[in-house]
Structure 1
Amino acid sequence: MLRVDAEAIDSAYKFQSAVNISDVRFEWGRLAVTLVSGEDRKTVIVRFPCVVGFRLLDEGDLLDFWPTCSAENGWLFLIKGNGWFDLEATRQGFTREKGQGVLEYFVASQNSCLSVLSGEPPEVEVFSI
């Protein structure tokens, strides 16, 4: 099993307790992901403005991403290698190639995790509950 090569993206907020994805909304090529932490009393919305694809899975099905993408390292990551994009690239029917301006991001939470292929970096907005 290959481990993912990733780096945490510094965001406007670092959660102090467990975080969960509460909403994923895809509309016209844009993806908005809402994360909440009851103890922190914070809600974060991550917007990906130019999405090529995304997948949402239980964290137990993404053990290749641990420990690199664990909560102690952050919640938003840029995947540099051995992630979902590289897995898809092994399929004959997958026609995208690296270097075409598509980057892979990973949103980690307690209840599920989200992989996103996007042509632009995400925007992060923090709200108090």
Structure 2
Amino acid sequence: MSNSIKLSPRNVPDPLSVPSLSSVTWDGCKLEARVDISLDTASEMKPVYIIFFWVEGFRMLDEFNLNEFWDKKKKISSWLCEVESGGWLDHEKSRSGFLSREDNLKEYLIIGQEECLSVFSNTDPVIIEPDL
């Protein structure tokens, strides 16, 4: 796997600090991630739900275990990104046993305070922002 990851930021609410990935639910077809964010210093944390359909795979790692990919000189502008290259999907595609090679398969990355969630999906995520 390359140490150079190329991320394309998605349009999500911009919190004051790194959000918290508080839950991940998988039902065999749909993956739902709850991300708690703070939009100002006076408000409590608000949930944002990121829902993926047609999921081919997912993994959650402590952000510390992805340290080699973070460019210390470049700020990541969003906590939800599409991974264009250099991520887990590229690594998996290099294995002969990885059979999910559809052209429309994409990798998404949710960056949390402690954990990062990588998702392989054939569709863009649905973003639900209740009470923001």
TM-score bracket for the superposition, by shorter chain length: 0.7 to 0.9
- Per the alignment, residue 81 of structure 1 pairs with 85
The runs of 4+ residues in structure 1 deviating greater than 4 Å are: none
* Counterpart contact for 2:9–2:81, Cα < 8 Å: yes
Q: Structure 2 length normalisation: TM-score?
A: 0.84
Show CA shifts across 1:47-75 (max 9, x none).
0011110000000111243139x875110
Name the CA shift for 1:67/1:60 in 2 (closer, same or farther; >3 Å).
Answer: same
Name the CA shift for 1:76/1:66 in 2 (closer, same or farther; >3 Å).
Answer: same
* Counterpart contact for 1:15–1:37, Cα < 8 Å: yes
Q: How many equivalent pairs are there?
A: 126
- Per the alignment, residue 15 of structure 1 pairs with 15
CA RMSD of aligned residues (A): 2.2
Q: Structure 1 length normalisation: TM-score?
A: 0.86
* Counterpart contact for 2:80–2:111, Cα < 8 Å: yes
- Per the alignment, residue 47 of structure 1 pairs with 51
- Per the alignment, residue 27 of structure 2 pairs with 27
Q: Highest Rg: 1 or 2? A: 2
Taking only the aligned residue pairs, the percentage that are identical comes to 28
- Per the alignment, residue 5 of structure 1 pairs with 6
- Paired letter, 1:9: R
Decide which moves more: 90-99 or 40-49.
Answer: 90-99
